[in-house]
């Protein structure tokens, strides 16, 4: 049996042990007495008396003995907790308010940490993922976000020293047939080393081999585990299985492990073969590499530049001139999300700190009231350490009482967020309350307890028993400087948060109000992939397009209809084939434009006004194009672009028939690239594009979905319609994200203001209560009510002015962190700063006015008499 | 006879434990007997106070170095008797060794310079 176990046993037998000790001591005394009587010849009673005196402090003896029975330290902690709980129950309003505030703030902090952890902190789920780099280029100051294909192909072929392996990939998609239902699946075209870069080995089979990565090579495919399961039921071996995608059969040569779906939600991977375009043409691809250990990204970049320089002759001029950017894949996928999330997290942290400051102030006020209690305990022998420890336990108990409902609140908010939050964040995996979040919450809870508990605990421990007991009922006022300082800090923090919220709100309003160049209100679109082999022939695609559009235009509710390779301006990035101008304008190989393919009535359907000329004609073989205003201005500044010729690399010269207004990018409202809209009346509709209709006034676009489906299926019943939706929905998504950010920060800023102002009110009320006697004296000596009000207001204004001033000063360096999230709003916006100051000052004045008004009505006689 | 020292907390607590354990090698004793024994053997130099003795006895019991049982004393009164356990014997050996080492070290420091 270990001593620990003996202690436990003794714990259960305490009463008996106590009794036995008593008997033992009695026996001891008796023996001593007899000894004394014998030695000194005393009568037995006298001897017994002396023996008892010699025994000393029996109580202390018994206490020290009792300490051995059980776990005294643990028991004193439990005792402190029970005492603390009792104290908290005695002031239910304070406890309820503090618990509520803590639950709200700790809960929000935990929820946000869960999101930040899943999105920003956690590394990607690939082997050594921090070494997977995304290699892209910047051209003419714009971040292209991808690598140009010639350089990528070159790097793949030539090999690099800095990277273990490099690979190009392009997202794609197709119609999977052969199962019960045709299904649209996402996939990717990847170069040979793709799986090496991602650190994945096939669970079955193998990856692509060199001879399969050539144009016209064998049709092979690698499947995801989920697709393999769905299609074949996950047999143990590969066999000779085929899948049909877009009416082409592919032999399955490998299956990847469950869970791997990169890029995006890819379910199949096919070989990436670099396309050969005309001279000067460049298209872009995603490009990644696995950095060799010990090599820095800067060194890798230099090597790529050197490689480019060494093969200058093989690369088009455009590819030579861009700057190479290497960042980790994690950064490129998640980097954009980091700023807003960190900002939100900082905001919530601030609110938590404000709440702690308030609770600290309240506890400090209570500490003054509890001085008698502390004095009595000190007089009875409690040492200071014990008192401080007990008060800290109370704070810890309060914090934990707030944290538990807070965690429940966090769990609930995360569920709501995953349901209605912006898709680019809420769909990411791992947003939940896991071990890391719990640990974090624990740290935050005890951190908060320490923050608001330390000052009051030490203040109470510092009590002089004599002084406190003598003062009878009178509260000896604590020093108010720490309280004032806390309120000043609270107000400053609230000001900073309000400025941030105001800036974001203004940014959101600007963003939604900006003229995007197209009208998204009455537009319905659906993605219609045209699979092979049926639609391999351009004539078949033209036929489909004409018949479908004819049917649609015949509908009374439809104002106009068109087909298009992409949406306004969002297309510019997918395939960027630069245009070049012939002799009629400035020819410069360096300029980059975007090209997109549009059908007849494109501009009318999307509501893009034409500044000059006309739309693409319905029929005809002539190569025609419409250009954007920015392109026209760039090259034909002094004259009309209509009638001029523009050469699209790889496609020959086109005659310009119209100039369209500039259109902003859908996701970011950024100004688009100069754009050439090639009329594809003579070409054919792309294999995968949109059918778009514009409905008449008063018709709800969504209600036309069945009609749209019917029209398309009347022409070809086998076509799947992917994701029919109104254009406003697609546009709305980007707005929702911004709205979400702005609304959340505004909500937290509002909470911060409320907390800070309540703190101010409590402070001023406290100060007034303290000085009641003094006010009575002043009034008795002739001060008017106005004088009293002025006195109180001055105290409040001092604190307010300091707080607001400090807040503005602190905001100046901090606002630049918001800059990335603002749309056409400068961070140092005087108007917003002033607005925040006014809001805070206004609410603060009201908070001060109430105690001031009360002070005004103090009856001097009562004040003088009160103690 | 030297000045009497009352064994209170200022003496190393391990020392008191060691003295008690050593006393019990002589045989089974009750609390008063142990204090008496130490007093007599130290020639009245060491007086163990009850306030220190009895808590120490409780502690030694929790550690498992001594055992106790109730019996009858010489005068037929009920008394609690303590005896050394095997673990206690082992502990005593260690304590003696450490204490001896300590004494030697102090003696070396206090040795008059030659």
Would you tell me which residues 50-109 of chain A have a C-beta closer than 8 angstroms to some C-beta of chain B? 54-57, 60-61, 64-65, 67-69
- DSSP, collapsed to helix, strand or coil, labels residue A612 as strand
Cβ-Cβ contacts under 8 Å, A55 against chain B? 50-51
Please compute the mean of the pLDDT values over residues A528-555 and round it to a whole number.
Answer: 81
Decide if A27 and B63 are in contact by the 8 Å CB cutoff.
no
How many other CB atoms are found less than 10 A from the CB of residue A540? 16
Least CB–CB distance from A3: residue in B31, B62, B70: B62
Task: Give residue A585's pLDDT.
Answer: 42
Write the DSSP assignment of A338-349 as a string of letters: HHHHHHHHHHHH
Task: Give residue A571's pLDDT.
Answer: 41
Given a cut of 60, whether residue A221 has pLDDT beyond it is yes
Given a cut of 80, whether residue A339 has pLDDT beyond it is yes
Could you tell me which residues are beta bridge partners of residue A691?
A526, A563
Least confident of A32-46, A222-236, A723-737: A723-737
Given a cut of 70, whether residue A780 has pLDDT beyond it is yes
**Residue of A2, A16, A31, A60 best to disrupt the B interface, most CBs of B under 10 A:** A31
Given a cut of 80, whether residue A500 has pLDDT beyond it is yes
- For A51, the closest chain B residue by CA position comes to B50
- For B67, the closest chain A residue by CA position comes to A6
Given a cut of 70, whether residue A552 has pLDDT beyond it is yes
Distance in angstroms (rounded) separating the CA atoms of residues A246 and A232: 18
Q: Is B79 on the interface with A (CB under 8 A)?
A: yes
Q: What distance in Å separates residue B81's CA from the closest CA in chain A?
A: 10
Cβ-Cβ contacts under 8 Å, A68 against chain B? 55, 58-59, 61-62
Please compute the mean of the pLDDT values over residues A261-274 and round it to a whole number.
Answer: 87
Asked casually if ipTM beats, i.e. exceeds, 0.90, the reply is: no
> Which tops the pLDDT comparison, A477 or A345?
A345
Q: What is the tens place of the pLDDT at every residue in A56-88? A: 888 888 888 888 888 888 888 898 899 889 988
Decide if B77 and A30 are in contact by the 8 Å CB cutoff.
yes
Region label for A650, one of left (φ > 0), alpha (ψ between -120 and 50) or beta (otherwise): left
Task: Give residue B1's pLDDT.
Answer: 41
pLDDT-derived band at B10, boundaries 50, 70, 90? low
**Residue of B54, B64, B72, B88 best to disrupt the A interface, most CBs of A under 10 A:** B54
Given a cut of 80, whether residue B85 has pLDDT beyond it is yes
Q: Which residue has the tokens 């590499």?
A: A289
Decide if A20 and B80 are in contact by the 8 Å CB cutoff.
yes
Q: Is B59 on the interface with A (CB under 8 A)?
A: yes
Q: Is A30 on the interface with B (CB under 8 A)?
A: yes
Distance in angstroms (rounded) separating the CA atoms of residues A311 and A409: 60
Count of H-run helices and E-run strands, chain B: 4, 5
Q: Is B54 on the interface with A (CB under 8 A)?
A: yes
Task: Give residue A861's pLDDT.
Answer: 77
Task: Give residue A573's pLDDT.
Answer: 31
Task: Give residue A277's pLDDT.
Answer: 62
Cα within 13 Å of Cα(A32), Cβ side: 23
Structure tokens at A17: 């042990």
Cβ-Cβ contacts under 8 Å, A65 against chain B? 54-55, 58
Least confident of A803-812, B74-83, B91-100: B74-83
Please compute the mean of the pLDDT values over residues A749-765 and round it to a whole number.
Answer: 90
- DSSP, collapsed to helix, strand or coil, labels residue A854 as helix
Distance in angstroms (rounded) separating the CA atoms of residues A378 and A268: 76
> Which tops the pLDDT comparison, B13 or A823?
A823
Cβ-Cβ contacts under 8 Å, A1 against chain B? 64
Mean pLDDT of the residues in chain B:
85
Cβ-Cβ contacts under 8 Å, A61 against chain B? 50-51, 54-55
Cβ-Cβ contacts under 8 Å, B75 against chain A? 34
DSSP letter (8 states) at residue A572: G
Decide if B32 and A57 are in contact by the 8 Å CB cutoff.
no
Specify whether the CB–CB gap between A656 and A641 falls below 8 A: yes
Q: Is B96 on the interface with A (CB under 8 A)?
A: no
- For A64, the closest chain B residue by CA position comes to B55
DSSP letter (8 states) at residue A671: B
Cβ-Cβ contacts under 8 Å, A56 against chain B? 49-51
Q: What is the tens place of the pLDDT at every residue in A281-334? A: 667 889 999 999 989 999 999 999 998 888 887 777 667 778 899 999 998 888
Does residue A263 have a cis bond before it (omega within 30 degrees)? Answer: yes
- For B31, the closest chain A residue by CA position comes to A28
Parallel, antiparallel, or unpaired for β A594-598 and A675-679? parallel
Task: Give residue A591's pLDDT.
Answer: 57
Please provide residue A199's backbone torsions phi and psi, each rounded to the nearest 5 degrees: 75, 35
Mean pLDDT of the residues in chain A:
83
Q: What distance in Å separates residue B73's CA from the closest CA in chain A?
A: 9
pLDDT-derived band at B86, boundaries 50, 70, 90? very high
Given a cut of 80, whether residue A612 has pLDDT beyond it is yes
Length of chain A: 867
Cβ-Cβ contacts under 8 Å, A21 against chain B? 54, 58
> Which tops the pLDDT comparison, A576 or A107?
A107
Cβ-Cβ contacts under 8 Å, A33 against chain B? none
**Helix spans in A698-826 (H):** 705-715, 727-770, 772-780, 785-814
Task: Give residue A60's pLDDT.
Answer: 87
Given a cut of 70, whether residue B2 has pLDDT beyond it is no
Task: Give residue A313's pLDDT.
Answer: 79
Q: What distance in Å separates residue A51's CA from the closest CA in chain B?
A: 11
Specify whether the CB–CB gap between A610 and A660 falls below 8 A: yes
Coarse DSSP helix, strand, coil percentages of chain B, rounded to the nearest 5 percent: 55, 20, 25
Q: What is the tens place of the pLDDT at every residue in A613-647? A: 888 887 777 788 888 888 888 777 777 888 888 77
Task: Burial-class residue B94 by CB neighbours within 10 Å (0-12, 13-18, 19+).
Answer: exposed
pLDDT-derived band at A107, boundaries 50, 70, 90? very high
pLDDT-derived band at A575, boundaries 50, 70, 90? very low
Least CB–CB distance from A65: residue in B55, B70, B78: B55
Cβ-Cβ contacts under 8 Å, A59 against chain B? none
Decide if B61 and A34 are in contact by the 8 Å CB cutoff.
no
Distance in angstroms (rounded) separating the CA atoms of residues A417 and A109: 14
Q: What distance in Å separates residue A83's CA from the closest CA in chain B?
A: 28
Task: Give residue A682's pLDDT.
Answer: 53
- For B57, the closest chain A residue by CA position comes to A65
Q: What is the tens place of the pLDDT at every residue in A182-204? A: 777 889 999 888 999 999 999 88
Chain A / chain B CB contacts < 8 angstroms = 67
Decide if A25 and B77 are in contact by the 8 Å CB cutoff.
no
pTM score? 0.77
Of chain A, the percentage scoring pLDDT greater than 70 comes to 90
């Amino acid at each position: 049996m270990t001593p620990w176990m003996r202690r436990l046993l003794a714990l259960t037998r305490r009463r008996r042990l106590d009794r036995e000790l008593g008997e033992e001591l009695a026996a001891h005394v008796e023996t001593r007495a007899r000894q004394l009587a014998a030695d000194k010849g005393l009568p037995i009673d006298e001897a017994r008396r002396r023996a008892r005196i010699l025994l000393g402090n029996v109580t202390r003896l018994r206490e020290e003995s009792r300490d051995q029975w059980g776990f005294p330290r643990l028991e004193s902690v439990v005792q402190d907790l029970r005492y603390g709980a009792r104290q908290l129950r005695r002031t239910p309003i304070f406890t309820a308010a503090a618990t509520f505030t803590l639950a709200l703030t700790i809960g929000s902090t935990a929820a946000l940490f869960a999101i930040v952890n899943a999105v920003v902190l956690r590394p990607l789920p690939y082997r050594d993922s921090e070494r997977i780099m995304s290699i892209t280029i910047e051209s003419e100051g714009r971040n292209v976000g991808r690598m140009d294909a010639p350089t990528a192909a070159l790097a793949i072929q030539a090999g690099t020293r800095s990277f273990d392996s490099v690979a190009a990939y392009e997202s794609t998609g197709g119609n999977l047939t052969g199962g019960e239902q045709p299904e649209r699946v996402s996939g990717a075209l990847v170069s040979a080393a793709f799986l090496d870069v991602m650190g994945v080995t096939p669970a079955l089979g193998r990856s692509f081999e060199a001879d399969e990565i050539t144009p016209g090579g064998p049709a092979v495919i690698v499947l995801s585990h989920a697709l393999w399961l769905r299609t074949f039921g996950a047999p143990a071996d590969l066999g000779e299985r085929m899948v049909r995608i877009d009416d082409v059969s592919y032999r399955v040569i490998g299956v990847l492990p469950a869970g791997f779906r990169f890029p995006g939600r890819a379910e199949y991977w096919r070989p990436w073969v670099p396309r050969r375009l005309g001279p000067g043409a460049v298209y872009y691809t995603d490009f990644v590499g696995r950095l060799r250990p010990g090599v820095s990204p800067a060194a890798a970049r230099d090597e790529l530049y050197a490689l480019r320089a060494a093969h200058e002759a093989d690369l088009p001029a455009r590819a030579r001139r861009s700057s190479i950017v290497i960042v980790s894949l994690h950064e490129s996928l998640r980097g954009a999300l980091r700023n807003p999330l960190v900002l939100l997290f900082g905001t919530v942290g601030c609110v938590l700190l404000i709440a702690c400051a308030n609770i600290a102030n309240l506890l400090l006020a209570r500490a003054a009231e509890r001085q008698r209690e502390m004095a009595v305990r000190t007089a009875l022998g409690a040492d200071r350490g014990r008192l401080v420890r007990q008060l800290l336990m109370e704070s810890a108990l309060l914090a934990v009482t707030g944290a538990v409902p807070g965690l429940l609140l966090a769990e609930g908010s995360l569920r709501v967020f995953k349901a209605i939050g912006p898709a680019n964040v809420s769909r990411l995996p791992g947003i939940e309350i896991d071990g890391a979040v719990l640990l974090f919450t624990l740290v935050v809870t005890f951190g908060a307890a320490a923050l608001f508990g330390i000052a009051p605990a030490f203040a109470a421990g510092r009590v002089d028993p004599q002084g406190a007991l003598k003062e009878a009922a009178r509260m000896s006022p604590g020093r108010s400087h720490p309280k004032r300082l806390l309120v000043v800090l609270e107000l400053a923090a609230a000001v900073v948060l309000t400025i941030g919220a105001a800036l974001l709100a203004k940014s959101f309003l600007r963003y939604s109000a900006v003229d995007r160049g197209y009208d998204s209100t009455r537009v319905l679109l659906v993605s219609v992939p045209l699979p092979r082999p049926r639609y391999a022939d351009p004539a078949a695609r033209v036929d489909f397009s004409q018949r479908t559009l004819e049917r649609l235009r015949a509908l009374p509710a439809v104002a106009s209809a068109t087909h298009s390779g992409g949406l306004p301006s969002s297309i510019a990035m997918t395939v960027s084939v630069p245009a070049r101008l012939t002799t009629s304008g400035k020819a410069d190989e360096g300029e980059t434009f975007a090209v997109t393919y549009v059908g007849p009535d494109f501009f009318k359907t999307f509501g893009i006004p034409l500044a000059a000329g006309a739309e693409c004609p319905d029929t005809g073989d002539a190569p025609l194009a419409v250009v954007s205003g920015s392109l026209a201005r760039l090259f034909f500044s002094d004259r009309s672009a209509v009638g001029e010729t523009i050469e699209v690399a790889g496609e020959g010269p086109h005659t310009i028939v119209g100039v369209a207004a500039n259109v902003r990018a859908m996701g970011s409202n950024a100004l688009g690239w100069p754009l050439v809209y090639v009329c594809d009346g003579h070409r054919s509709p792309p294999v995968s594009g949109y059918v778009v209709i514009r409905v008449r006034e008063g018709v709800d676009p969504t209600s036309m979905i069945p009609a749209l489906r019917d029209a398309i299926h009347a022409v070809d019943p086998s076509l799947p319609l992917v994701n029919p939706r109104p254009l406003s929905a697609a546009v709305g998504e980007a707005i929702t994200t911004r709205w979400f950010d702005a609304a959340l920060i505004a909500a937290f800023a509002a909470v911060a203001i409320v907390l800070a102002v309540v703190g101010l009110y409590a402070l001023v009320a406290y100060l007034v209560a303290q000085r009641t006697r003094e006010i009575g004296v002043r009034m008795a000596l002739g001060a008017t009510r106005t004088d009293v009000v002025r006195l109180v207001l001055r105290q409040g204004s001092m604190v307010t002015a300091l707080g607001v001033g400090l807040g503005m000063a602190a905001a100046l360096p901090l606002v630049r962190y918001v800059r990335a999230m603002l749309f056409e709003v400068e961070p140092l916006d005087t108007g917003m700063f002033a607005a925040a100051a006014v809001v805070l000052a206004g609410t603060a004045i009201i908070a001060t006015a109430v105690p001031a008004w009360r002070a005004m009505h103090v009856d001097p006689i009562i004040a003088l008499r009160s103690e | 006879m030297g000045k009497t020292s009352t064994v209170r907390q200022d003496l190393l607590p391990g020392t008191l434990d060691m003295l008690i354990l050593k006393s019990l090698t002589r045989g089974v004793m009750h609390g008063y007997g142990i204090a008496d024994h130490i007093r007599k053997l130290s020639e009245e130099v060491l007086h163990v106070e009850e306030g220190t003795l009895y808590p120490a006895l409780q502690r030694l019991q929790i550690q498992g170095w001594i055992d106790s049982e109730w019996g009858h004393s010489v005068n037929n009164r009920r008394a609690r008797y303590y005896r050394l356990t095997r673990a206690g014997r082992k502990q005593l050996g260690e304590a003696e060794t450490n204490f001896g080492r300590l004494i030697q070290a102090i003696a070396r420091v206090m040795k008059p310079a030659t």
